[in-house]
Amino acid sequence: MTVQPLKRRRAPRGSGDHLREEILDAATDLLLDTGHAKAVSIRSVAQRVGVTPPSIYLHFADKDALLDAVCARYFERLDEVMQQVAADESSNIDRLRVQGLAYVRFATQTPELYRIAMMGEGRLGSDVDMTLNSSAFVHMRNSVETLMAEGVYPPGDSTMAALELWTVAHGVAAQLISRPYLPFGDVEEFANRVLSAVCLGQIACGVMGADTPPTEAVARIKEQSRG
CATH number at residue 184: 1.10.357.10
The pLDDT assigned to 31 comes to 84
The pLDDT assigned to 83 comes to 83
**Residue 29 in domain:** no
The pLDDT assigned to 9 comes to 46
**Residue 7 in domain:** no
pTM assigned to the model: 0.77
Q: At what angle do helices 42-49 and 17-34 cross, to 10 degrees?
A: 110
Torsion of CA 199, 201, 202, 206, to 10 degrees: 140
**Residue 142 in domain:** yes
The pLDDT assigned to 134 comes to 67
Which stretches of the chain drop beneath a pLDDT of 50?
1-14
**Domain housing 219:** 74-225
pLDDT digits (tens, 9 = 90+) for 115-135: 887 887 766 667 777 777 667
**Residue 79 in domain:** yes
Other Cβ atoms less than 10 A from the Cβ of 13: the count is 11
**DSSP per residue over 180-195, as a string?**
TTS---SHHHHHHHHH
**Residue 18 in domain:** no
**Residue 115 in domain:** yes
Task: Say how far apart CA 11 and CA 26 lie, in whole Å.
Answer: 11
**Residue 35 in domain:** no
The pLDDT assigned to 14 comes to 47
**Residue 112 in domain:** yes
Task: Name the maximum alpha-carbon separation found in the chain.
Answer: 74
What lies within 8 Å, CB to CB, of 193 at 6+ separation is none
Task: Say how far apart CA 104 and CA 100 lie, in whole Å.
Answer: 6
Total of domains in the chain: 1
